[in-house]
Amino acid sequence: MEDKTGVTNEQVEEQVNVDTKVENPEKTKAEIDGLNKRNSELEKQLAEIKATLDAEKKAKMSKEELIKAEHEEIEKEKQTIAQERRNLTVSKALLNAGLDPKIYANRIVGSSAEEIEADVQAFKDILDGTIKNRTDEKIKEVLNVKTPVGGSNATPLTEAEIEKLPTYQERQKARRQAGLIK
């Protein structure tokens, strides 16, 4: 099937197969390793250039600008530390409640330890209630199944059916149930 450019699907598939075919995997691996090494070197150079640029910026700043910049850095570090402490508190609270922090940590709100504990407890109560309700519903569903009624409603076997039973004991039991013997 041709598209508007006059190229068929088969031609495109051939080109893709040619482009993706690896003739020498060892050479390709060596090229990738070389590119990775080059990438690492360039990242190091970039980090050095950024450090130099920051140093030059600081050298050109006045004392007031330097103090302001340092204050901003400290505030960022404080915020990062506060967030890490909060994450740790959430993880501990979830673990204490028997919940997996990897799954539920993003569902917990609060900034203080008390708020976090309260939210974790409320969340656990909701989960436990949901699980209990689902379990109760499942039990009710299972219990609502009608069980077969046994006993007197069954019709006794005939002598011909009794004779087809495999063992003597089964035949005698069936005869007793049918009232043929005592």
Render each residue's pLDDT in the chain as its tens digit; 182 residues.
Answer: 545 556 666 665 665 554 445 566 677 778 888 888 899 999 999 999 999 988 888 788 788 888 888 899 999 999 999 999 999 999 999 999 998 989 888 889 888 999 999 999 998 988 888 887 777 777 777 777 665 555 555 677 888 888 999 999 999 988 888 888 87
Sorted by where each begins, the domain ranges of the chain are 57-140
Question: How many CB atoms are located within 10 Å of the residue 89 CB?
Answer: 19
8-state DSSP, 21: -
Residue 88's nearest CA partner among 114, 107, 113, 122 is 113
Single pTM value for the model? 0.43
Q: Are 119 and 142 within 8 A, CB to CB?
A: no
Return the C-alpha torsion angle 27, 29, 30, 31, nearest 10.
90
Neighbours of 119 (CB within 10 A): 16
CA distance linking residue 142 with residue 136, whole number of Å: 10
* Bridge partners for 8 per DSSP: 2
Q: Which strand (E) or helix (H) includes residue 99?
A: none
User: Cα–Cα distance between 1 and 12 in angstroms, integer?
Assistant: 11
